[in-house]
Structure 1
């Protein structure tokens, strides 16, 4: 037996030592063939070696060599053989680009169905990479199957890139006779979505379909070809040439033939070029005239008269380009002017804004360096024009801009150095104070940051990141009132002017007003625990010890809840306790089973709320709101309501506000007698009319009657408070309607996004199923689904900076229609703000 084992080891050793040199030599031979692009011979050699040494593994794999051979055959237009080669690569397990090339082969062989089936199978199996997913949609369009295309982009949009979706929506819009909508989509595409695509061609075609022949002619180069004798754009690609030919046939305007112009005398060409510039200037088209000038300068120094127009033309052209949103062109026109003498500081300021928009950050640093050197020389040469009171703030401002430019390019130390330089020059500069405030905010010194930024904005700083940081600081401190006041004071300087018309609801009120424990519990658990009223709601949820019954009520561990609530209240001032006591009483009243001791718990905290009213008058209103929700009989409210209203200067408005707060927590009718009496005294009070309307169900005619009458009065009187109340009522109704059509929150647990279509269909049936005929509803269904999808958040990871660490669906978005408590503000790509 030992002898036999020894013999086996010997044979194994011989086999091993015999294979290794064979594998190395064949690998070198194979690589040499591949370098020479002799793929057929390489595959034959692989076949030979596999017969004698099947254990050898090749690099690259045999499937990859078949793919290379197919590409080579495709380039030689041997499509039949290429199709076989790509097919063999697929058989051997290759995925990725091979599907694209095989589909192209099949199309060249007029086998559209086979090509479509190939990509459909690859797409459904998940083997088609995202870059080529659009090819599947293109083949569906060639087959005329727009219904499947629409279904795919609606239900599986995440499998396509943004550019692909823009393209397909543009094509669908063209098919539906909406060229303007198509143009909007095509203009969002910046690069080819598959090899050989020409994004500009679709823009031109959309312009032609819209009847915008001049715009199409400009893109094709038809207009410029009449004057300028470079090769026109439409001759750069056969597709563009066909579009140009179609346009010429439609409009009857034939451009000059460039082949003839190329033989023309260069002097005449130059003369025509100069004439074109002048004609464009006369037409007010400084933008195109500047392009023509820059193009001409590369070829000729003739006609010095044109040179004299250079500076004013490029200046005006840059401004026109900026107005047209063509910031790249503005940069192209203004950049060369900055080297001229004398230095133009206003032009430098304008150019800095353009460079910022174009993300030309290194050029910004260069321009700022040039600006600083000019200013220092200017101050030395003309000290009378640059006293310290003017020079120092200006220098500090430029150094702050330099710090901004450094931050964008991740040069934090250089940025701090620039700010230190600014502080040495002018420590009171508003721009410097603003940046110091940003640094304090980054370090979470929010109080210091608020002080510095407030001084900066009051002093004239208009750097938007400082304003955003100020609001962020107030948010972090949880002072919503101060945040809104900051927006009112400073928002107008930064385009934020909507604070007066925004409808905002406290998160705990928003959660309770759902009147659904399942939704309430999910909403409060996702909120900030720093909010005491939210924490009170969370304590209620944590103390629940049963599932909701048929009435939506739960059993509460009263001892645990009361201990946690009392502990929470001990840490709060009297004023801070008011919303907490309201939240405790309302959550218990709305969601707790009527078990022994529950009434005592509610009354206990209701009494505490009433006791606070001696030192905090606002607690009295909160107490009456809870009473209005809790009690069933108007008689029980008559005495406390009358006693309080008699102490207020505007009893009608006070009563209306109590009803409008209470109505969020159910259909409240306990204040009807008091409201009717108040309306007899003040029949023209819009707030009272709205409050009376809310005592009826929304579908009741009286609701609309009272509401409309009150709104017309408020609008005629320009009563700002009343108009805001109507806005809040409308937002509340929208939220209620949204919640009514939504499925139970449990349906979102472990939600498979592929089932989203079924979920949307159920929702839409709830919304419209009984309101429109069945056939009409089925026809509208796809469009309605798309409208809902378009308003939902994008769960893709395209913008990683905006990602939320929580992967759960945003139930607050799905079920509520109120704006988020934190106002979304525009963010730059980088800079100080990204560190907050």
Structure 2
């Protein structure tokens, strides 16, 4: 049911993620529509956004999953729009020759050949392999060949035999109209294009045909330029308000018949505030606006929902159920002033109806409803910055029904704002257990456990209550330790800001902070800095003396890796780092994890793979699963920089265990992620892990995907140093730099320069306005970390 709901809302990415989750426990399940069809729908969705590269990727995925024909068509169309005619032709030609291209889509081959100018091959195909094509496809090809041969009458004979589109978006009438124009039969072309619009009482009915398709509109423009007749203005030429209303009524009926209540309602409201003359249209208004609001809500356009439902409440008398639904839409739109008024109106209605119709409010229903509404009113007051009014509404709710789950939940939120985290945990948990489904209550419970530094309790809370708020399967999420997050950036500017802004400071993070504090020069062109070695060593040694041997493992690793990744190769650096690496090796005798950490540091540090052979072999000989142990080392090493040091060992291990998914993933990481070998090995390993339901391996694949996403996001971000002494006037330059990073390798230079002003405008328009946030603390927050619930936007927990 959830999958079908996502599909109805055209949330194809979420639908595919849902399929992935289901297949973890039931890998053999089949879906309708199939996974391949959903990938294609996602591709078509991106195509509509003009993201042809992404659309190609998703359509290819559908092709890989066995969806032929339609997937071939969309991949080739995406390639064409990327100016890759040869690639499109190669794809379709191979499919045609391998007989994997369905007959209905064989026309794609003919079209691409004609675009290429290869009429000889087209003639040969329709002559020698006519059975591979439908009759309509042959008619079309013969018609185009006739046009090329300056034989328009023969072309017209062929085109008139085509009764339906041959591929999506085809307009058979366009070929007939074009050919009629070629023989200067303007009257026939005008009839096909719908230039002579039918009229009633002196005004046009409906939308002219030529406006329904861009190609028809171009042909109509051509005809008007050639003949001067008829004028191409489809609007009412001299109609009054009544005639315009009649045309609108007909359009509304047509859209309603198609089930497009949303657009029909906009057309209705576009009539303005003048009185409606047609009684049928007036009678239709409340029903249409109600249906349109529901449809807009399902489409995620809650602003339109609010526009449609507000007049219904005013014109049709107060409807409490519609009011409840409208309150939810207003909440999504942050229309808090309107929401406060409507909640107050609903409260008065409930109080009045409770007195007039007590039989409808048996038991605790009346008091519970009133308490819940006062809680909603309190939330709205808080969103408006009226905390005193909010507390007054909460106190009113508590007087009416002190044990209501919503009341208990709001009291928990108040406790949170007063930093009474243990009390808040008790109240928030109690509210959720008793059925409170206010998302901020759940979010604040998680933040309480975060404040209390109890991640295990937070995870347990997510297991218990997360399903009610869309927070599913928290165990499968990926979260890196803050010190690792910082090192994984492999960029000193990012590293510096991450370790400086992190509020929780465990020993390995403190080691990174000591490194940053000891830096005495800006990064050079290679991103490395000069270090005050004496200061760093003194503070690191003091830190190590304070902590246990077990805590030293990650701390020593953080010291060694921060120096290795970011310090200049100055005199004394080797002498600085070597004792810490040696200490890590010493701890290996008591802690197995220290041996692994030591090898990770060595693999990152060493430039000669030969020096790694002995320590790696010694370690693997003592582990029960040497293949997995080796893979885990490589999966850590690759996150601190691309490394080929362990390739010989990985190759040897794969010869012994060719079906080990962790080894396949580890070997994949020895290739850059842009190379096909990376994707092939990773996919091969993932399929094996999924088939075996190897939880450890599947988690490794999730972590790798998370890491890749982290690096890809970082790649398009401006350097954090660009924000030092940042001025609003610099924003345009920063945005332009981001766009060039994102699209510079994907779009031809001339095309990028043409598109740049519009891309900048769109990106700048989506950025938040920080003018009202001057007094707020603003930390540098990177796009790292995965799966944690988002903090609330408003309410008691702000």
TM-score range, shorter chain: 0.5 to 0.7
C-alpha separation in 2, matches of 1:612 and 1:427: 56
Does the residue aligned with 1:645 lie in a helix, a strand or coil?
coil
The separation in 1 between residues aligned to 2:555 and 2:430, in whole angstroms, is 35
CA distance in 1, matches of 2:678, 2:335: 58
Aligned to 2:376: 401
Contact 1:330–1:354 (Cα < 8 Å) also in 2: no
Q: Structure 1 794/657 Cα, relative in aligned 2: closer, same or farther at 3 Å?
A: farther
Alignment partner of 1:411 is 2:376: no
* Distance 1:413-1:536 versus aligned 2 partners, 3 A rule: same
Partner Cα separation in structure 1 for residue 383 and residue 454 of structure 2: 30
Give CA-to-partner distance per residue, 1:416-464, whole Å, 9 cap, x none: 1222232334333222232222222222333443443344334333323
Matched, 1:658 2:633: yes
- State the alpha-carbon separation in 1 of the partners of residues 327 and 740 from structure 2: 54
Q: List alignment gaps of at least 5 residues for structure 2.
A: 1-80, 82-173, 175-198, 206-227
Does residue 779 (structure 1) correspond to residue 743 (structure 2)? The answer is no
Shift of residue 313, structure 1, vs aligned partner: 6.5
Instruction: Give the structure 2 partner of residue 327 of structure 1.
Output: 305
TM-score normalised to the size of structure 1? 0.54
Write the distance in 2 (CA, Å) between the matches of 1:760 and 1:371. Answer: 46
Matching residue of 1:83: none
2: CA distance, partners of 1:517 / 1:669? 23
On the 8 A contact 2:286/2:316 being kept in 1, the answer is no
SS at match of 2:505: coil
| Residue 784 of structure 2: aligned partner | 819
Which of 509, 517, 525 is the aligned partner of 1:534?
A: 509
- Give the CA deviation at 1:637: 2.0
Is 2:793 the partner of 1:832? Answer: no
Normalising by structure 2, we get a TM-score of 0.56
Matches within 5 A, 1:148-159: none
Distance in 2 between the 1:414 and 1:573 partners? 52
| 1:584 alignment partner in structure 2 | 559
Task: Specify whether residues 825 and 766 from structure 1 end up closer, same or farther in structure 2 by C-alpha distance, changes over 3 A only.
Answer: closer
SS at match of 1:462: coil
1:682 aligns with 2:646: no
Shift of 1:666: 3.8
Q: Which residue of 595, 602, 611 maps to 2:580?
A: 602
2:620 aligns with one of 642, 648, 653? 642
Q: Aligned runs of 1:77-476 on 2, under 5 Å?
A: 249-250=231-232, 254=236, 257-258=239-240, 315-316=290-291, 318-319=293-294, 322=297, 325=301, 326-336=304-314, 339=317, 344-357=319-332, 361-376=336-351, 386-476=361-451
Closer/same/farther in 2, CA of residues 316 and 708 from structure 1, 3 Å limit: closer
Contact 2:377 2:390 survives alignment (8 Å): yes
Query: Residues 277 and 782 (structure 1 numbering): CA distance in 2 closer, same or farther, change over 3 Å?
Result: closer
Secondary structure of 1:465's aligned partner: helix
CA distance in 2, matches of 1:448, 1:388: 30
Quote how far apart the aligned CAs of 1:540 are: 1.8
Rg bigger for which structure? 1
Q: How does 1:633-782 map to 2 (within 5 A)?
A: 633-638=611-616, 641-642=619-620, 645-646=623-624, 651-668=626-643, 671-672=646-647, 674-695=649-670, 706-714=681-689, 722=697, 725-726=700-701, 728-729=703-704, 732=707, 778-782=749-753
May I ask how many residue pairs the two structures share in their alignment? 571
- In the TM superposition, residue 751 of structure 1 has moved relative to its aligned partner by 7.5
Q: Confirm or deny: 8 A CA contact 2:736 2:756 kept in the other structure.
A: yes
Q: Deviations over 1:529-579 (max 9, x none)?
A: 635432211102323456778987666555543443354456667765543
Maintained 8 Å contact 2:203/2:236: no
**2:497 & 2:728 partners in 1: Cα distance?**
20
Match of 2:97 in 1: none
CA drift of 1:404 comes to 1.7
Mapped partners of 1:787, 1:391: distance in 2 = 55
Please say if residues 537 and 576 of structure 2, whose CA atoms lie closer than 8 Å, have aligned partners that are also in contact. no
1:677 positional shift: 4.8
Residues 712-743 of structure 1: per-residue CA shift (max 9 Å, x gap): 54466565654554454456457667878999
List gaps (5 residues or longer) in structure 1.
Answer: 1-176, 178-210, 212-221, 229-245, 263-268
RMSD of aligned alpha carbons:
5.8
User: 1:496-520 CA distances to partner (integer Å, 9 max, x unpaired)?
Assistant: 5696786644342243345555664
CA deviation vs aligned residue, 1:178-214 (integer Å, no higher than 9, x gap): xxxxxxxxxxxxxxxxxxxxxxxxxxxxxxxxx9xxx
What is the SS of the residue equivalent to 2:403?
A: coil
* CA contact 2:405–2:430 (8 Å) conserved in 1: yes
Alignment CA distance shift 1:559-1:223 (3 Å): farther
